[in-house]
Structure 1
Amino acid sequence: MVMLRHFTGKLLFTLCTFISLPFSAARAQQQAQPAAAPVYPRVAGYVGILHPIVTFSNEGTTTNFDSYYVVGLPTGINIWKSSKIGFSAEFVPLIRAEKGTSKMANFLFHPGILVTLAPGLTFAGRAAFETAGRYGFTPVLNKIVKKNKNSGYFVAVPVPFRFGNGHPASVTVGFQFGITF
């Protein structure tokens, strides 16, 4: 009886090992494989908050937060052709608060090209078309500061150059932060 139990136990152990071997091998192979490379084209979206900090023109220097406050709420779609280059379309309503009242003061359409400079660091060269009648271009440096599995937090420094609508040419330095997904 003891002999039969020992034989049955060995047989059961051998059978279980034989059946589980393919599953174990597949799991080991799966763990040994590197993470899958992203497939291109790849689409990513983002939302953020934009604060123009200071504007320089022939009319003088103006700063946000002084006698008024302007905030932008950029929303965009990035279409990456490869890991190095892509296209972006950004839409930015700008709200101005001044003397106890606020209004949407401008809407910006901001298409452009994306170029990866280093892992997590991107240059965006954008054209700019504003409902306020101004136009121009905006170089932007963007840095991912925290990357998660399905999202990332970023900070950016946009430097808008604007022309037209009866105003002198101007350049602004801004600060933007947000989340990409």
Structure 2
Amino acid sequence: MAQVPPVTYPKVAGYVGIIHPLVTFSKEGTTTNFNDHYVVGMPTGINIWKSARVGFTFEAVPFIRVENRTSRMSNFLFHPGILVALGNGFTFAGRAAFETSGRYGFTPVLSRAIIRNKNSSYFAALPVPVRFGNKHPTAITVGLQLGIAF
């Protein structure tokens, strides 16, 4: 058997995915995706692991909104944060959030590698964005993200 070389740190990994905000709660009411509109994002990022347990993450997410038979890029999210490996394929990301829509806040994310290959892994994540500002009440969203890390 060939020996597996030890992992050296820092370790850099990139990823790309697709995110579907599912439901948003605020004082203005509850809104759901896929109902009278559709919003989808394409998170692209780089993770820099300082050790097997802790790292830094940077993510950029353009969002597309489809409504009334038209589509447009509706928002762009700058999303830096920290990573904590929880074990058993689970990772927690704590992200700051700055949006071109004028909103800001934070996003806790729980992700898990679901398929691992030699040079990549497929993952699923549950982001829960919390947003403030721009003359709107605080909003909490639950989303589903799927992607590939390499």
When the two structures are superposed, what TM-score results if normalisation uses the length of structure 2?
0.98
Match of 1:144 in 2: 113
- Whose helix proportion is higher, 1 or 2? 1
* Partner residue, 2:46: 77
How many matched pairs?
Answer: 150
CA root-mean-square deviation: 0.8
Give, as a single letter, the amino acid of the residue that structure 2 aligns with 1:35. Answer: V
Equivalent position of 1:65 in the other structure: 34
Instruction: In structure 1, list runs of 5 or more residues that go unmatched.
Output: 1-30
The residue aligned with 1:87 is: 56
Per-residue CA deviation, residues 119-169 of structure 1 (Å, 9 max, x unaligned), is: 311000000000000000000001000000000000000000000000000
**Which of the residues 79, 86, 91 maps onto 1:122?**
91
Candidates 95, 104, 111, aligned match of 1:135:
104
- Normalized per residue, the structure richer in strand is 2
- Higher Cα Rg: structure 1 or 2? 1
Match of residue 42 from structure 1: 11
- 57, 63, 67: which is aligned to 1:98? 67
Identity %: 67
Higher relative contact order (CA 8 A, sep 6+): 2
Aligned to 2:141: 172
| Partner SS state of residue 136, structure 2 | coil
SS in 2 for 1:50: strand
Alignment of 1:107 with 2:76, yes or no, is yes
